[in-house]
Amino acid sequence: MADDQVSVFDIRGRAYIVTGAGRGIGAELANGLAEAGAAIAVAGRTGADCEKVAASIAAKGGRAIAVGFDARDEAQCAELVTRAAATFGQLDGAVINHGIGLHRDALDTTREEFAAMLDGNLTSYFLMCRELGRHWIAAKQPGAIVLMSSNASILSYGELAAYGVSKAGVDQLARQLGAEWARHGIRVNAIGPGYMAASMKGIESIYDAPEVKAKILPKIPAGRYGALRELLGATQFFLSDASSYATGQYLAVDGGYSLI
């Protein structure tokens, strides 16, 4: 690349927070963004896992810190934003990726389980976004937020009523905040993964079972589960200047599952 031709996808020298980054999608995105030249605050509830991911990034010449935190705690969300900005001297964006899953028929879902889904998958997203928005607006700086949703936010799956509703809220959060904060240069977009090669903690065995795969794969036009790495391009797009005029959008990355 010539010195005077900087790609609009270039994120070298930028700094991002990735939540839920101790494993799965979050760990893959943290590593991928670091390989693209960004500094990463690897955040999640299991500090030891975050330390491993941050160490892996550092071993490859990248820059990262590990931050153990619970996104349901607004004080910890604020501390994460403050620490990341102070450590790197800047904060350009965040990937809000943490979350919990629940497979339960709606008739059997308890009030407590439904509330936990909303708290872990939606309210916590709002709290993180709010602290990021406050930080950037106070500093008069732009920022980019990527919310990890799910195609369960736009489709109806069996036994995913509470989960699907929580993720539909994530999509609306992207639209609402995208509209409210555009004037501040803050963009908020959502990505909706479909069936991926690694599932959310606690439900891996459901989708990895051969009999379940045999039912699911024929319904995916691509004919396979997605690799976690295949979420990186969409994430980098929404974090980079390539999407400078895009906000409040939802992008399905599901091998075409939501098309049929």
In a domain, 208, yes or no: no
Q: What is the DSSP letter of 227?
A: P
Cα dihedral value 85, 89, 91, 92, nearest 10: 180
| 66 within 8 A of 58, measured Cβ to Cβ | no
Residue 211 lies in a domain: no
Residue 164, domain member (yes or no):
yes
- What pLDDT, on a 0 to 100 scale, did the predictor assign at position 205? 63
Measure CA 255 to chain center. Answer: 18
Contact (CB, 8 A) for 32 and 228: no
- Which of 16, 124, 150, 163 is labelled catalytic? 163
Which of 167, 195, 240, 243 is labelled catalytic?
A: 167
Phi, psi at 159, each rounded to 5°: 65, 20
- The 3-class SS string of 84-116 reads HHHHHCCCCEEEECCCCCCCECHHHCCHHHHHH
163 is catalytic: yes
Instruction: Write out residues in the chain with pLDDT < 50, as ranges.
Output: 1, 3
The angle subtended at Cα 235 by Cα 17 and Cα 121, nearest 5°, is: 65
Residue 203 lies in a domain: no
The answer to whether position 207 is within a domain reads no
Question: CB burial class (10 A; 0-12, 13-18, 19+) of residue 159?
Answer: middle
CATH number for the domain spanning 40: value is 3.40.50.720
Q: Does 149 qualify as catalytic in the annotation? A: yes
Residue 9 is assigned to a structural domain of this protein: no
Q: How far apart are CA 186 and CA 248, in angstroms?
A: 10
Q: Which residues, in sequence order, are bridge partners of residue 18?
A: 42, 95
Task: Say which DSSP state 68 is in.
Answer: E
Residue from 249, 12, 243 nearest 143 by CA: 243
What is the distance between the alpha carbons of residues 122 and 192, in angstroms, rounded to a whole number?
A: 14
58-97 pLDDT, tens digit each: 999 999 999 999 999 999 999 999 999 999 999 999 999 9
User: Helix (H, G, I), strand (E, B), or coil: what is residue 253?
Assistant: strand
Strand partners, 250: 190
Does 36 reside within a domain?
yes
* Assigned domain for 149 exists: yes
Structural domain boundaries, residue 128: 15-195+234-251
DSSP codes joined into one string, 162-198: HHHHHHHHHHHHHHHHHHHHGGGTEEEEEEEE-SBSS
In the set 149, 150, 166, 240, the catalytic residue is: 149
pLDDT at 206: 79
39: which 2 tokens?
Answer: 């500094």
Q: What is the pLDDT of residue 1?
A: 46
**Count of the separate structural domains present in the chain:** 1
Angle between helices 124-139 and 74-88 (to 10 degrees): 40
